[in-house]
Chain A
Protein backbone atom coordinates (compact mmCIF):
# COMPACT_ATOMS: atom_id res chain seq x y z
CA UNK A 1 0.00 0.00 0.00
CA UNK A 2 1.28 3.45 -0.91
CA UNK A 3 1.52 5.55 2.23
CA UNK A 4 3.47 8.15 4.17
CA UNK A 5 4.45 7.02 7.66
CA UNK A 6 5.28 9.78 10.10
CA UNK A 7 7.26 9.59 13.33
CA UNK A 8 5.55 9.58 16.71
CA UNK A 9 4.47 12.42 19.00
CA UNK A 10 7.09 14.59 20.62
CA UNK A 11 7.16 16.58 23.84
CA UNK A 12 9.96 19.13 24.06
CA UNK A 13 11.02 22.17 26.05
CA UNK A 14 11.54 25.63 24.57
CA UNK A 15 15.02 26.00 23.14
CA UNK A 16 15.45 22.31 22.38
CA UNK A 17 16.07 20.96 18.90
CA UNK A 18 13.84 18.48 17.11
CA UNK A 19 13.80 16.38 13.98
CA UNK A 20 10.60 14.65 12.83
CA UNK A 21 10.39 12.31 9.88
CA UNK A 22 8.11 11.04 7.17
CA UNK A 23 8.92 7.80 5.35
CA UNK A 24 7.36 6.81 2.07
CA UNK A 25 6.58 3.20 1.22
CA UNK A 26 8.11 2.14 -2.07
CA UNK A 27 9.50 4.79 -4.41
CA UNK A 28 6.64 7.21 -3.94
CA UNK A 29 8.98 10.21 -3.76
CA UNK A 30 10.52 9.62 -7.19
CA UNK A 31 9.76 12.62 -9.44
CA UNK A 32 7.52 14.24 -6.84
CA UNK A 33 7.76 17.29 -4.61
CA UNK A 34 6.90 16.52 -0.99
CA UNK A 35 5.89 19.11 1.58
CA UNK A 36 5.09 19.86 5.19
CA UNK A 37 1.87 21.39 6.48
CA UNK A 38 1.33 22.81 9.96
CA UNK A 39 -1.93 22.82 11.89
CA UNK A 40 -1.84 24.68 15.18
CA UNK A 41 -4.39 23.70 17.84
CA UNK A 42 -7.88 24.54 16.63
CA UNK A 43 -6.55 26.35 13.58
CA UNK A 44 -6.33 25.86 9.82
CA UNK A 45 -3.75 24.38 7.50
CA UNK A 46 -0.54 26.25 6.71
CA UNK A 47 1.85 25.23 3.93
CA UNK A 48 5.40 25.36 5.27
CA UNK A 49 7.59 24.26 2.41
CA UNK A 50 8.53 21.44 0.08
CA UNK A 51 11.47 19.47 -1.21
CA UNK A 52 12.25 17.51 -4.36
CA UNK A 53 14.00 14.48 -2.86
CA UNK A 54 15.69 13.51 -6.14
CA UNK A 55 17.96 16.59 -5.97
CA UNK A 56 17.05 18.19 -2.59
CA UNK A 57 15.80 21.40 -4.21
CA UNK A 58 13.82 23.10 -1.44
CA UNK A 59 11.25 25.90 -1.30
CA UNK A 60 9.83 27.58 1.80
CA UNK A 61 6.84 29.68 2.67
CA UNK A 62 7.96 33.19 3.68
CA UNK A 63 6.39 32.52 7.09
CA UNK A 64 8.64 29.56 7.78
CA UNK A 65 11.89 30.37 5.97
CA UNK A 66 14.73 30.47 8.48
CA UNK A 67 12.66 28.90 11.23
CA UNK A 68 12.69 25.29 10.06
CA UNK A 69 14.80 23.15 7.76
CA UNK A 70 13.36 20.62 5.34
CA UNK A 71 15.61 17.84 4.13
CA UNK A 72 15.36 14.39 2.61
CA UNK A 73 17.31 11.16 2.39
CA UNK A 74 16.41 9.68 -0.95
CA UNK A 75 18.18 6.40 -0.18
CA UNK A 76 15.60 5.57 2.46
CA UNK A 77 12.68 7.60 1.03
CA UNK A 78 12.50 9.74 4.14
CA UNK A 79 11.64 13.40 4.56
CA UNK A 80 12.65 15.46 7.60
CA UNK A 81 11.49 18.61 9.32
CA UNK A 82 13.99 20.15 11.72
CA UNK A 83 14.03 22.85 14.35
CA UNK A 84 17.21 24.10 16.00
CA UNK A 85 15.44 25.94 18.81
CA UNK A 86 11.79 25.24 19.49
CA UNK A 87 9.32 27.78 20.76
CA UNK A 88 5.99 27.24 22.48
CA UNK A 89 4.32 28.56 19.34
CA UNK A 90 5.66 25.54 17.42
CA UNK A 91 3.12 23.38 19.23
CA UNK A 92 1.08 21.89 16.42
CA UNK A 93 0.36 18.85 14.30
CA UNK A 94 2.71 18.55 11.34
CA UNK A 95 1.61 16.67 8.24
CA UNK A 96 3.80 15.54 5.40
CA UNK A 97 2.11 15.29 2.02
CA UNK A 98 3.01 14.63 -1.59
CA UNK A 99 2.33 17.15 -4.34
CA UNK A 100 0.77 15.17 -7.19
CA UNK A 101 2.23 17.18 -10.06
CA UNK A 102 4.11 20.38 -10.71
CA UNK A 103 1.44 22.01 -12.83
CA UNK A 104 -1.47 21.74 -10.45
CA UNK A 105 0.35 21.14 -7.15
CA UNK A 106 -2.47 19.51 -5.22
CA UNK A 107 -1.62 17.04 -2.44
CA UNK A 108 -2.71 13.51 -3.36
CA UNK A 109 -1.16 11.63 -0.45
CA UNK A 110 -0.96 12.62 3.23
CA UNK A 111 0.72 11.28 6.33
CA UNK A 112 -1.31 10.94 9.53
CA UNK A 113 0.49 13.79 11.23
CA UNK A 114 2.99 14.21 14.06
CA UNK A 115 1.93 16.07 17.19
CA UNK A 116 4.67 18.31 18.55
CA UNK A 117 4.14 19.80 22.00
CA UNK A 118 6.55 22.45 23.24
CA UNK A 119 6.13 23.34 26.89
CA UNK A 120 8.31 24.26 29.80
Chain B
Protein backbone atom coordinates (compact mmCIF):
# COMPACT_ATOMS: atom_id res chain seq x y z
CA UNK B 1 0.00 0.00 0.00
CA UNK B 2 1.90 3.05 -1.29
CA UNK B 3 -0.40 5.76 0.16
CA UNK B 4 0.25 9.09 -1.56
CA UNK B 5 2.93 9.21 -4.26
CA UNK B 6 4.30 12.39 -5.80
CA UNK B 7 6.40 12.72 -8.94
CA UNK B 8 8.91 14.12 -9.55
CA UNK B 9 10.79 14.46 -6.25
CA UNK B 10 13.05 17.26 -7.49
CA UNK B 11 12.90 19.68 -10.41
CA UNK B 12 14.74 22.77 -11.56
CA UNK B 13 12.98 25.11 -13.99
CA UNK B 14 13.90 28.30 -15.76
CA UNK B 15 11.58 31.29 -15.45
CA UNK B 16 8.75 30.96 -17.94
CA UNK B 17 8.91 27.19 -18.32
CA UNK B 18 5.91 25.02 -17.57
CA UNK B 19 5.59 21.73 -15.72
CA UNK B 20 3.08 19.36 -14.16
CA UNK B 21 3.37 17.73 -10.77
CA UNK B 22 1.57 14.41 -10.38
CA UNK B 23 -0.05 13.10 -7.23
CA UNK B 24 -1.50 9.61 -6.98
CA UNK B 25 -3.26 7.98 -4.02
CA UNK B 26 -4.32 4.36 -3.63
CA UNK B 27 -6.58 4.78 -0.56
CA UNK B 28 -9.76 5.56 -2.53
CA UNK B 29 -9.95 8.98 -0.86
CA UNK B 30 -12.46 11.54 -2.12
CA UNK B 31 -10.52 14.64 -1.12
CA UNK B 32 -7.13 15.70 -2.40
CA UNK B 33 -5.06 18.81 -1.75
CA UNK B 34 -2.02 20.66 -3.01
CA UNK B 35 0.04 22.70 -0.54
CA UNK B 36 3.24 24.64 -0.73
CA UNK B 37 5.67 24.94 2.17
CA UNK B 38 8.12 27.82 2.44
CA UNK B 39 10.70 28.49 5.18
CA UNK B 40 9.23 30.18 8.23
CA UNK B 41 5.66 29.75 7.02
CA UNK B 42 2.95 27.22 7.54
CA UNK B 43 1.66 24.99 4.77
CA UNK B 44 -0.52 27.02 2.42
CA UNK B 45 -3.34 25.47 0.43
CA UNK B 46 -3.10 26.05 -3.32
CA UNK B 47 -6.05 24.07 -4.68
CA UNK B 48 -8.12 21.15 -3.54
CA UNK B 49 -10.64 18.69 -4.91
CA UNK B 50 -13.72 17.20 -3.27
CA UNK B 51 -14.09 14.42 -5.82
CA UNK B 52 -13.37 13.27 -9.35
CA UNK B 53 -13.94 16.05 -11.86
CA UNK B 54 -14.04 18.83 -9.24
CA UNK B 55 -11.48 21.44 -8.18
CA UNK B 56 -11.57 24.50 -5.93
CA UNK B 57 -9.22 27.35 -5.08
CA UNK B 58 -7.36 27.49 -1.83
CA UNK B 59 -5.47 30.31 -0.17
CA UNK B 60 -2.78 30.86 -2.84
CA UNK B 61 -4.11 29.66 -6.24
CA UNK B 62 -2.60 32.30 -8.56
CA UNK B 63 -0.13 30.93 -11.09
CA UNK B 64 -1.31 27.33 -10.66
CA UNK B 65 -3.93 25.13 -12.30
CA UNK B 66 -5.17 21.69 -11.29
CA UNK B 67 -7.12 18.79 -12.72
CA UNK B 68 -8.77 15.71 -11.21
CA UNK B 69 -9.76 13.57 -14.17
CA UNK B 70 -9.46 10.34 -12.21
CA UNK B 71 -10.29 9.85 -8.54
CA UNK B 72 -6.82 8.61 -7.69
CA UNK B 73 -4.87 11.39 -9.45
CA UNK B 74 -4.54 15.11 -8.79
CA UNK B 75 -2.32 17.16 -11.10
CA UNK B 76 -0.80 20.55 -10.34
CA UNK B 77 0.33 22.66 -13.29
CA UNK B 78 2.57 25.69 -13.48
CA UNK B 79 1.96 27.40 -16.82
CA UNK B 80 4.79 29.95 -16.64
CA UNK B 81 7.07 29.36 -13.67
CA UNK B 82 8.33 32.31 -11.63
CA UNK B 83 11.10 32.42 -8.98
CA UNK B 84 8.40 33.09 -6.36
CA UNK B 85 7.15 29.56 -7.02
CA UNK B 86 10.37 28.05 -5.70
CA UNK B 87 9.05 25.92 -2.85
CA UNK B 88 8.37 22.43 -1.58
CA UNK B 89 5.03 21.15 -2.84
CA UNK B 90 3.05 18.57 -0.91
CA UNK B 91 0.03 16.64 -2.03
CA UNK B 92 -2.36 15.19 0.54
CA UNK B 93 -5.55 13.16 0.54
CA UNK B 94 -8.32 12.48 3.02
CA UNK B 95 -11.41 10.32 3.21
CA UNK B 96 -13.76 13.21 3.96
CA UNK B 97 -13.52 16.94 4.59
CA UNK B 98 -15.07 17.02 8.04
CA UNK B 99 -13.46 17.36 11.42
CA UNK B 100 -11.31 14.54 12.70
CA UNK B 101 -10.44 13.53 9.19
CA UNK B 102 -6.72 12.85 8.79
CA UNK B 103 -4.82 14.15 5.81
CA UNK B 104 -2.12 11.83 4.45
CA UNK B 105 0.80 13.46 2.71
CA UNK B 106 3.12 12.54 -0.12
CA UNK B 107 6.89 12.90 0.23
CA UNK B 108 6.95 16.27 -1.53
CA UNK B 109 8.38 17.82 -4.68
CA UNK B 110 11.25 20.25 -4.29
CA UNK B 111 11.02 22.83 -7.07
CA UNK B 112 13.55 25.53 -7.85
CA UNK B 113 12.77 28.22 -10.43
CA UNK B 114 15.81 30.11 -11.64
Q: A and B, one complex?
A: no
Q: Which residues of A pack against B, CB within 8 Å?
A: none
Q: Which residues of B pack against A, CB within 8 Å?
A: none
